[in-house]
Structure 1
Amino acid sequence: MRRLLPAFVVALALSLPALAVQPDEVLRDPALETRARAISAELRCLVCQNQSIDDSDAPLARDLRILVRERLTAGDSDREVRDFVVARYGDFVLLRPPVNWQTALLWGGPFLVLLAGIVAIAIAARRRRVEVSTTAPLSDEEKARLAALLEGRDKDL
C-alpha cells in the first residue's frame, strides 16, 4: 500500500489542470498579475482554439500572455488591452465573442437547429396522423373474416 501512495499522488497531480504561465511571465505587482490572469482567461489560444491563453502551452499563447502583461504595465485598462488584442486578431480571439451581426449565426445557430428539429418532428407527427386517419373502414367481407378468425371458425376461410 505504501508503494502505491506516491504513484497515486503523482497521478493525481498530473490530472489537475496546470496553468501554462511561466515563472518569468509573472508580474511583480499582485494586482496587475490578477488583472493579467483575468484577461488571459478570456482570450482564446489561436493555436489550440479550445483553451484560454492562460491554460495553453503554445508559443503564440505565451506571446499573447506577455503582450497582455506589457500592455498592463504600460498603463492600459483591461478594456484597452482586450480591444488591442481584438484589433490585432479579431473577435475569434475572445472565448465569449460579442453578440453582433457578424456573430449572429454563432449565437443563434443552436437555436435554429433546435427549431428545425421541432419543425421536423411536428411535420412527421402530422403526416403520421393524416395516414392513420385516412384508412378505409373494413368491408362486410373483411368484418366477417375477422369475426371468424376471432371465434376460431377459420376452417372454411
Structure 2
Amino acid sequence: MAPAISLLRPPIGTPHLSIPRGRKAPIELEALPDFEIDPAIEAFVEAKAAYRRRTTVTAETMTAFLDRHLGLDGTLRGSAIAVADVDAFVVFQRLREIDVLFEGALGTRYAVSRVEGRLSNGWLDCPDFVIRRTSSDRHAGDRPAGNRHA
C-alpha cells in the first residue's frame, strides 16, 4: 500500500516554472572563400574517368573485337584467341556472356556454345567456348531494317 502522506516535495517557486524563450542571435552571413582545386585531385578524377572508359565493355567494342578475330567461316574458339593486352582482356572475359549482354542485343548476331576442355591463356582460366556468327552480314545490326542487304 502507498503511504497516505507523500514524502516527496513538489516543485515550488520560479526555478521550476517555464521561462519564455529568449531572442535568438541573428545569423551572420559571410561569403564563402574562393578555393583552388588541387591538381592532384583533378588528375585523380580524370584517371578514374579514363579507367572507367577503358574497362567498360560496350556492344560496339565487342563487335569490333569479334570482327577482328572471327575467321571467314564465322567461328572462333576461345582458346584460339590471343589476348595481347588489357583492352583485349576486358572484352575477352565477357565473350562467354555475349548472348545475354546488352539485353541480348548481340545474341541475334552471335551464338556462344561451351566445348570440352579449358582455356588458360595467362589472363584467365575458364571452360573453353566457341563463338559463331549467326548472321551472314557482318554488320547486320548497324543498318536500318529495310537496308540490310545493301
Q: TM-score, normalised by structure 2?
A: 0.26
| Rg larger for | 2
Structure showing greater relative contact order (alpha-carbon pairs closer than 8 Å, 6 or more residues apart): 2
Larger helix fraction of residues: 1
Please state which structure has a larger fraction of its residues in strand.
2
Query: TM-score normalized by structure 1?
Result: 0.25
